[in-house]
Amino acid sequence: MLGVKIATWSEVSHSLLVAPHTLPTLIQIKKMVMFKVTRVETTPFEGQKPGTSGLRKKVKLFIQPHYLQNFVQATFNALGADRDKGDITKTEFLFHVFIEIITKMAAANGVRRIWIGQNELLSTPAVSAVVLESRADGSKATGAFILTASHNPGGPHEDFGIKYNMENGGPAPEGITNKIYENTTTIKEYLIAEGLPDVDISTTGVLSFEGPEGKFDVDIFYSTSDYLKLMKTLVEGILIQI
């Protein structure tokens, strides 16, 4: 996995420089693997109260068994029926397994499609751009899980965080974060997909799986395409040179 990387505007600019003029063609890959939903018993953890920047704690807390799962399930429960259109995940630091956990929990909670940035990386503004942009087939995300330490020091002995952005690309409002926290204090189980294989997120494409509620798609997309498209509408005639 990659080391600590906190996105800055200069790094975003650099990503614009290296973006190809023609974006890669998305290859449809079918993997009709059946999975089933498993209910895992759990107990609450104290202090899982998110702010506008989500839940930010030391890495040693997040790697405890069930800690991340509890918070993710509490979020799905807070979103209710609004969760079924889509989902996006993004990381700046931590283990690839965290992406896999959220993917499998999304599948188990009835999400129909998730989008993951290639190689797990997106800047926070790019996440918002992806949420706002409709896909080629007309589908649109209803929100995004963002895994990031934000401006805090990141790394194995420092901070890690998770937050949920809404369909407008912005952070979850207080009404939602309060509901998430309330759910974390009473949670007794979480749902996760059993039999869903780990996903190769190094190659763009769509992987399709079959579950109890129908098809579940995992779309690995080129991480800067939507952000580049948005920036072209805002910035005109500027040459950036290294």
Separation CA 83–CA 141 (nearest Å) = 9
3-state secondary structure of 137: coil
Backbone angles phi, psi at 224, to 5 degrees: -110, 0
Separation CA 166–CA 159 (nearest Å) = 23
Structure tokens at 35: 């999975």
Separation CA 76–CA 145 (nearest Å) = 11
Nearest Cα neighbor of 107 from 198, 223, 45 is 198
3-state secondary structure of 108: helix
Nearest Cα neighbor of 225 from 99, 86, 123, 98 is 123
86 contacts 116 by C-beta, under 8 angstroms: no
Backbone angles phi, psi at 200, to 5 degrees: -80, 110
Instruction: Tell whether the torsion through CA atoms of 75, 76, 82 and 84 is positive or negative.
Output: positive
What angle separates helix 124-132 from helix 225-234, to the nearest 10 degrees?
90
- Where in the sequence numbering do the catalytic residues fall? 150
